[in-house]
Structure 1
Amino acid sequence: MVRPAPLAVATATLLLLLTGCSADGADGAGPEVDGGASVTPSGSASATTSSDPDAPLDANEACAAMYVTGDKTLEERIGIALVGASDGLDAASADQMHAMSLELGRLEERVPEEFQGPVEKMRVPFLQLQKALDAGTQDQTELDVASTVEGLKEYEKLC
């Protein structure tokens, strides 16, 4: 099992951060980009994004990928995955953590260079858990959720 006490404190901190980040935008959906402009891609960029899921993203698209796209934003799903792991690691929460690691890895490859470091920081606990599961040491693993919090803060500043 993942060590619960430090993870619970870090997860609570993450949830507070996510709550604060989500309230930043005018519509409550996330931070605004370009002084209030929509972060939804427009014109040919939108067609490129929808037709090629591996196409590079510009800064606006990278912000939309974190704070706008989907029923639940990527930012929210990161928090949900970490909370799920802190509540007790089972097959479902391990699968969710692995899926989030993969999704963040794909995002890291597509975002502009200045966003890559923050995404890398966000991935740290997800990669730690995968390594611990592979080694069978998940009971002794303390996830570095603070790294995710730091990465989210840095990402938000870029948006």
Structure 2
Amino acid sequence: MCGMVRPVTSAPARLRARTALVAVATLVVLAGCSGGGEADAGASAQPSGGASATASSQPDPDAPLDANEACAAMYVKGDKTLEERIGTTLVSASDGLDGTSADQMHAMARELGRLESRVPEEFQGPVERIRVPFLQLQEELDLGTGAEVELDVASTVEGLKEYQKLC
């Protein structure tokens, strides 16, 4: 739908106006994706049960998630859902990549990487696709070549659609 986007020119990289339009369109699509997928917040907020779970212990932040918990991680938990934060981060970067927005892109790549390692196998491919533009930008900044790189924002949109279908 959105295609490829040319955003990065150098560190600190600048994103072109075309990226802003694609990111805004992406945000609209992302907002539409969350409408149909409703995870059961009550069920996912409680421990999955078991002899080792106690009322005083906090859930292990690195523990594997079941399908309901994976859906809650994307669409329910937090003041802003992960899906909303993904869209906000892409839009923020499209407004002009500075140190703050680059840090946000990097933080989102890391958060999605942690999620990818915890979700059931069928969710891992969609999370991997969601991470693509975040990892592309990080790779370009790490290389520091100043060359343009095409951020695949469409991959994020497709990954979110696939993730939502699983929920």
* Distance change in 2, residues 1:42/1:142 (3 Å): closer
Aligned residues: percent identity?
Answer: 66
Aligned CA RMSD, in angstroms, stands at 2.2
The question of 1:19 aligning with 2:31 is answered yes
Query: 3-state DSSP class of the match of 2:44?
Result: coil
Query: 3-state DSSP class of the match of 2:71?
Result: helix
Higher relative contact order (CA 8 A, sep 6+): 2
Residue 8 of structure 1 aligns to which amino acid in structure 2? A
For 1:98-109, list aligned pairs within 5 A: 98-109=106-117
Question: Could you tell me how far 1:150 is from its partner in structure 2?
Answer: 0.5
Q: Which residue of 1 aligns with 2:124?
A: 116
Q: Are the counterparts in 1 of residues 15 and 97 from structure 2 also a CA contact under 8 Å?
A: no
* Distance change in 2, residues 1:133/1:43 (3 Å): closer
Question: Could you tell me how far 1:17 is from its partner in structure 2?
Answer: 1.2
**Structure 1 segments unaligned to the other structure (5+ residues):** 25-30
Residue 16 of structure 1 aligns to which amino acid in structure 2? V
Choose between structure 1 and 2: higher strand proportion.
Answer: 2
Q: Are the counterparts in 2 of residues 2 and 89 from structure 1 also a CA contact under 8 Å?
A: yes
The Cα offsets for residues 76-95 of structure 1, whole Å up to 9 and x where unpaired, read as 01011111111100000000
* Distance change in 2, residues 1:40/1:73 (3 Å): farther
Count of matched residue positions in the alignment of Structure 1 and Structure 2: 150
- Radius of gyration: which is bigger? 2
Q: How far apart in 1 are the matches of 2:17 and 2:38?
A: 34
Question: TM-score with structure 2 length normalisation?
Answer: 0.81
Query: 3-state DSSP class of the match of 2:21?
Result: helix
Query: 3-state DSSP class of the match of 2:108?
Result: helix
Q: Which residue of 1 aligns with 2:155?
A: 147
Q: Are the counterparts in 1 of residues 93 and 102 from structure 2 also a CA contact under 8 Å?
A: yes
Choose between structure 1 and 2: higher helix proportion.
Answer: 1
The question of 1:4 aligning with 2:16 is answered yes
Question: Could you tell me how far 1:3 is from its partner in structure 2?
Answer: 4.2
Question: TM-score with structure 1 length normalisation?
Answer: 0.84
Question: Could you tell me how far 1:43 is from its partner in structure 2?
Answer: 4.8
Q: How far apart in 2 are the matches of 1:59 and 1:148?
A: 20
Query: 3-state DSSP class of the match of 2:151?
Result: coil
